[in-house]
């Protein structure tokens, strides 16, 4: 696996479904994090405070940081990250929510020789 043709880059995909049991607590913590960010310009902070106050999904997006997931993993350096959050209708019994099916489809595509880009 360490041949010169093997890429050193790995794409890690993570999908989470969270149940918000206390929206006020989430919003409060997001506002605390924003208040503690001394590098954020005031205009951007005002906009962010409005967003997290109006939408719990936005508050969660400010609290969950992909950099934190890999910060202490030895031997890697995070090159790029993006994330978003949205409110959804969730039914864990619905076939659409079987995450293993997504993995199986990707494995089938890989076996068929389809190229996958990183970026």
**Structure tokens given for 13:** 């995909």
Cα separation, 108 vs 8, in Å, equals 23
Whether 103 is in a domain gets the answer no
**63: closest CA among 34, 23, 22, 88?**
34
**78: closest CA among 89, 87, 70?**
70
Q: Is 16 helix (H, G, I), strand (E, B) or coil?
A: coil
Q: How many domains is the chain partitioned into structurally? A: 1
Whether 8 is in a domain gets the answer no
Whether 65 is in a domain gets the answer yes
Whether 56 is in a domain gets the answer yes
Cα separation, 96 vs 118, in Å, equals 26
Q: Is 42 helix (H, G, I), strand (E, B) or coil?
A: helix
* pLDDT tens-digit series, residues 46-64: 999 999 999 999 999 999 9
Whether 84 is in a domain gets the answer yes
> Which of 8-12, 37-41, 87-91, 101-105 shows the lowest per-residue confidence on average (mean pLDDT)?
101-105
């Amino acid at each position: 696996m360490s041949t010169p043709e093997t890429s050193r880059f790995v794409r890690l995909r993570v999908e989470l479904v969270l149940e918000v049991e206390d929206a006020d607590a989430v919003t409060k913590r997001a506002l605390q994090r924003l208040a503690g960010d001394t590098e954020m310009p005031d205009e951007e902070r005002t906009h962010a405070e409005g967003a997290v106050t109006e939408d719990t999904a936005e508050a969660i997006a400010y609290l969950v940081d992909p950099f934190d997931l890999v910060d202490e993993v030895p031997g890697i350096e995070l090159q790029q990250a993006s994330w978003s959050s949205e409110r959804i209708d969730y039914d864990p019994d619905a076939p659409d929510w079987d995450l293993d099916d997504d993995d199986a489809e990707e494995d089938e595509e890989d076996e068929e020789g389809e190229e996958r880009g990183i970026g």
